[in-house]
Amino acid sequence: MNKADSLMNEGNVPAAIAEYKSLYSLNPSDRQIVYNYACALSVDNSVIRMFDSCFKYLNIAIELDTSVKALMEPKLIPAREDKDWDAFENRLISMLNIKFNNPYRDIEYAKALWRLGAYDQAYFNEIGIAGKKFGMRSSVASALWKFKFMIQERSQKELEQLVAAKGWPTIRQVGGEAAMSAYLVAMHTRDGSQKKYLPMIKQRCEENELPWQRYANIYDRCLYNENKPQKYGTHTRFNEQTKSEELYPLEDETKVDEWRKELGLEPLADYLSKNNIKYQPKQK
């Protein structure tokens, strides 16, 4: 991570922009520096937004690396509001079609899901900054989370309308990234309404469009939202007393590894060890 990236992560956008400008002058062919520079210009909160410069460097970035990344970038949400966004988006889609031989059968569905994906991942860094400076239980962090939840509720409603009209997205239909955006929006729904998507997501797993871990995650999230014990052991929670992550309660500790094996998942102890959580399964 360079100094400019660190400044962005700290929320010091003007200083980050100055540093990216310096880095770009030294190495204008570095695709990551160019891309991050454009993103910083998008989120700049000065009175006069720097969208002209943002799109200038975005267009350079996609020439260096033609990928769908920019269409799902949360830092580019402010740029989406600018009059030049549609032209940029259409240009990038045209480049993607040439590079990958027209990979999107329903481009309007893909566009909607890319946008939902950007909003789904938005503002986590800002919440983290507020947490470090004021604490996660501060009024600042709470206000940001409330704003984040409002965005999620809006995205949830839009996803419901899209799925009702077009069905659950497939990779052939919208591409892998857009299809994953639909999953993430459903996953992050807090009221348990993602339960209605379980059969469709299970079908996508059976068709090898999603890994079975994704099905286990969202199945357990439905139970988590209902304050019920989870089945597959995919969810943890932070213990305020021990100041550490711990396993969310299980439906049946003697069967959890059997249920995980049915989906082709590793034993729960191995899965949790990746997050430094020790788990000793109970015997039947």
What is the tens place of the pLDDT at every residue in 94-144? 999 999 999 999 999 999 999 999 999 999 999 999 999 999 889 999 999
pLDDT of residue 49: 67
207: three-class secondary structure by DSSP: coil
Residue 189 one-letter amino acid: T
pLDDT of residue 45: 67
Residue 180: Cβ within 10 Å count: 21
Distance CA 62, CA 159 (A): 28
In the chain, what are the domain boundaries? 1-100, 104-185, 211-284
Asked whether 115 and 89 are in contact (CB, 8 A), the reply is no
Residue 92 one-letter amino acid: L
Work out the mean pLDDT of the chain and round it to a whole number: 94
Predicted confidence band at 284 (pLDDT cuts at 50, 70, 90)?
A: low
pTM: 0.92
* H-helix or E-strand spanning residue 179: helix 176-187
Distance CA 262, CA 280 (A): 20
The class of domain 1-100 in CATH terms is: mainly alpha
Residue pLDDT, tens place only, 264-283: 999 999 999 998 898 887 77
Q: How far is CA 53 from CA 95, 238, 260, in A?
A: 21, 42, 50
Residue pLDDT, tens place only, 28-44: 999 999 999 999 999 99
Q: How far is CA 236 from CA 140, 145, 230, 276, in A?
A: 25, 19, 10, 12
Helix, strand, coil share (%) of the chain residues, nearest 5: 65, 5, 30
